[in-house]
Amino acid sequence: MHIQEINLFRYALPLHHPLTAKTPDPGLRRGYLVHVVTDEGTEGWGDCAPLPGFSPETTGQAEHDLHALRTALTGQDVRKAARGVSTKWCPSVRFAVEQALEDLRGYGDLKQRAPHVVLLNALVDPTEPGWLRRAQQQAAEGWLSFKLKVGRGAVEEDVQNARALRGRIGPRAELRLDANRAWDEHEAQRFAHAVEDLNLEYIEEPLKDPTGLRAFSESTGIPVAADESLAADPAPDWREWAFLRAVVIKPTLLGGIASTLVRIAAARGAGVMPVMSSSFESGVGLRHLALLALTADLGSIAHGLDTGRWFMQDLLEEALATTGGSIQRDALLAPSVQVRRDLLEPLT
């Protein structure tokens, strides 16, 4: 089976809520789709979604590399094409083409060996209208893990939000917090002491200076997780990070499926829980993230893939159904993926 053609598309999807002040147009999620067609008529889709302010590459660099991959891989045997993915291409492009190639291969024997569902943590943003009511409803529907954004305002307000959320979701649900490196040591200690009774699963990136993470966790007794602190390091010394409860893994930033599987194996070897996380990809990318979690046998861990509801429109004809905080494996492995071409602009 050989690659007959590679089609490239742009997309710009409107959002219900702005993503981040770091993006030039926070009301839209912009990206690209890679569409690979073989001489046997099979096709695969991949999502290239560099996130401004977080991804190391610009959209211009991504477009350049997308054109390069089309030239390099057209006509190649599908099995050999994966080995031809250049490490010189930017991370989001490598991830996109690997997604499309995995589509063509059908994710191997995943249907026979993988867990039946992918678990999700509900993403809770206190700037959303009705956020507590939504979280309470999700808990009633069976969601078992929640991740609250903190660090955007006063420490006292974050404490109130964390306590209010714990009250709504009950004592048994996992509660994760994400501070995005917002606090200095004093602020982080104040917050930690005020929520020490909430039975937190972990706080993600509580400190502006990540060198203090170990001491913070040891002094407060609250587990910590890393995201930004390890995202740009292709080969961290896991002996120095074994104190972590979890590491958040974003394949769009890390550079694809192969590098993600290496990162997951290394984290597990150090006793650190790997948590897959979205960079607000479209439904095409979210599907692959969930499949990647299954491929790595991470079905028992709740992953940060509850981002589809941020989109007013999505590229999948049928959005991924999240029932009770999970996505069914068989829905992810549907024989054909229907993409809304009316939302795509050809990239020539």
> Does the annotation mark 80 as catalytic?
no
Residue 112 has pLDDT above 70, yes or no: no
What is the Cα–Cα distance from 297 to 113, expressed in whole angstroms?
9
Q: What is the pLDDT of residue 143?
A: 97
- Which of the two residues, 328 and 135, has the higher pLDDT score? 135
Q: Average of pLDDT values for 290-298?
A: 91
Residue 329 has pLDDT above 90, yes or no: no
pTM, entire model: 0.94
Provide the percentage of residues in the chain whose pLDDT is more than 90. Answer: 79
Q: What is the pLDDT of residue 335?
A: 66
Q: Average of pLDDT values for 272-296?
A: 95
Q: Average of pLDDT values for 308-319?
A: 92
Q: How high does pLDDT run on average in the chain?
A: 93
Q: What is the pLDDT of residue 115?
A: 75
Residue 59 has pLDDT above 60, yes or no: yes
What is the Cα–Cα distance from 158 to 16, expressed in whole angstroms?
23
Tens-digit pLDDT profile for residues 113-155: 667 899 999 999 999 999 999 999 999 999 999 999 999 999 9
Q: Average of pLDDT values for 314-334?
A: 89
Burial of 340 (0-12, 13-18, 19+ CB in 10 A): middle
> Does the annotation mark 250 as catalytic?
yes
Residue 111 has pLDDT above 80, yes or no: no
Residue 302: alpha-carbon gap to chain centroid: 12
Highest mean pLDDT among 10-19, 75-84, 199-208: 199-208
Q: Which residues pair with 290 in a beta bridge?
A: none
Q: What is the pLDDT of residue 218?
A: 97
What is the Cα–Cα distance from 200 to 244, expressed in whole angstroms?
14
Structure tokens at 52: 């401004």
Residue 21 has pLDDT above 70, yes or no: no
With contact defined as beta carbons under 8 Å apart, do 222 and 246 qualify? Answer: no
Q: What is the pLDDT of residue 331?
A: 84
What is the Cα–Cα distance from 347 to 135, expressed in whole angstroms?
40
User: Domains, the chain, ranges and CATH?
Assistant: 3-107+338-346 (3.30.390.10), 112-332 (3.20.20.120)
- Which of the two residues, 30 and 21, has the higher pLDDT score? 30
Q: What is the pLDDT of residue 26?
A: 79
Which member of 80, 111, 149, 208 is catalytic? 149
Q: Average of pLDDT values for 280-286?
A: 96
Q: 3-state DSSP: the chain helix, strand, coil percent, rounded to 5?
A: 40, 20, 40
